[in-house]
Structure 1
Amino acid sequence: MKKLFAEFFGTYWLVFGGCGSALFAAGIPNLGIGFAGVSLAFGLTVLTMAYAVGHISGGHFNPAVSFGLWAGGRFDAKDLVSYIVAQCVGAIAAAGTLFIIWSGKTGNVIDNSKAGAFASNGFDTFSPDGYSMMACFAAEFILTLFFLLVILGATDKFANGKFAGIAIGLALTLIHLISIPITNTSVNPARSLSQALFAGGTPLSQVWLFWVAPIAGAVVGGLIYKNLLQNHAPE
């Protein structure tokens, strides 16, 4: 249970910190943190919780990461469902908290006819900069694949594990710097589901892509690392 609580709190912090920065701090005139600030916020959530609870659960905070670690031989299949449930519950709880805070300001409404409603992800006209479904799928697939390569490499027994959290957090920052204009950045099905549930409408109907593409990319990344990159014995 401690592992599941760690995944719950880690995913809660990721959604609350990352999506919260997008909702509350990104667009304030003259003082807003913008895309770069939101990207850094997402990276910092993973970095901080990796060191806080990563030693308890492995610090997945993301169903795609759990699948990728399984494909890479680092995670037991029997724990997949429980981890993913804990991650999704944590993400939804964070989105609910964000909604309570968001609703506390007069004039704040979720307009699910526009891209990025309640920090949701989307494609076609619901992509922040109008990218097609195939372009968004490709971006999410490739970025999650490389995210898993970073995670597996940084946590390899032959790597310097003390700096793994920094590498992983910076990788997520870079991923957001690349893809916020494309999909509003997912690479995390739990994060996508939580925001889409509150946005409803088209963002919710498009959430399938943000499960399929990241999980597929993560599995391929896990297999690539396991079969092509991993050292199985010291040279």
Structure 2
Amino acid sequence: MSDIRKYIAECVGTMFLVFMGCGSAVLAANHVGNLGISFAFGLSVLVMVYAIGPVSGCHINPAITLAMLVFKRIKTKEAVWYMVAQFIGAAVGAAVLYGIANGTVGYNILINGLGQNGYGAVGSPGGYCVLSGALIEFVLTALFLFVIFGAIHKNTPAGFAGIAIGFALVLIHIVGIPVTGVSVNPARSFGPALINLIAGNSFPMSQLWLFILMPSLGALFGGWMHHVIYKESN
């Protein structure tokens, strides 16, 4: 039962992140702008660290779980179920968001989107190419994991991890939104892409590979950087 509670927590946490973060882009972008969207994503993680962190550790991101697995902070079976729960939670969050957004005159998912990530002339908010998208997703995820591993290090003052991690994600979105909309989280990209596909728009799903591959590689690199720098104190 303790394991099931962890998986439910990861599912709920990821749903919260996708609904609040993507929701700020779909429902409130005209009011809050990119800065508000950045804070919505960062604050979502910050509050979830304290809401579900004591239960599951609050990964709510398959790239984080992958890094935790590779650097032996989580067992394989647990990591697999964490990822399953995260992808389900992201899909639920995106579905709820679509249900709300679709209830107003003038909303069209093909035009307004669902907060999905993308690259190129059509997918990127700023028209950035696939190389730019791949590079920024790799770098931002690596830096994010470096912050996470540092924030949860045994020598770091206890109780402040959520603040550091949440505000790191705010900074990441401030820089990255114009390029890809910012993923750094395969589940966060999967949820909106899946609901787009179900609603008849296959384009976000066709670009999903980048937002699975590059955050995963970036997470591993960020975890490796932390291991190298903190080796003597681990």
- State the TM-score, normalized to the length of structure 2: 0.93
Contact 2:94-2:114 within 8 A present in 1 as well: no
How far did 1:74 drift? 2.0
Deviates more, 1:164-173 or 1:215-224: 215-224
In the TM superposition, 1:1-235 aligns within 5 A as: 1-27=4-30, 32-111=31-110, 117-125=113-121, 126-200=123-197, 201-232=202-233
Amino acid at match of 1:13: F
Q: Secondary structure at the match of 2:109?
A: coil
Deviations 1:189-218 (A, max 9, x none): 001010011223211100010000000000
Aligned length: 226
Contact 1:11-1:90 within 8 A present in 2 as well: yes
Deviations 1:60-86 (A, max 9, x none): 000001112223332222322100000
Amino acid at match of 2:97: L
Contact 1:72-1:225 within 8 A present in 2 as well: no
Q: Secondary structure at the match of 1:128?
A: coil
Deviations 1:115-168 (A, max 9, x none): x72111111111110111111001000100010000000000110121000000
Q: d(CA) in 2 for partners of 1:109 and 1:230? A: 51
Whichever structure has more helix as a proportion of its residues is: 2
**Sequence identity of aligned pairs in percent?**
45
Contact 2:26-2:113 within 8 A present in 1 as well: no
Q: d(CA) in 1 for partners of 2:71 and 2:166? A: 20
- State the TM-score, normalized to the length of structure 1: 0.93
How far did 1:106 drift? 1.3
Q: d(CA) in 2 for partners of 1:13 and 1:50? A: 12
Unmatched 5+ stretches in structure 1: none
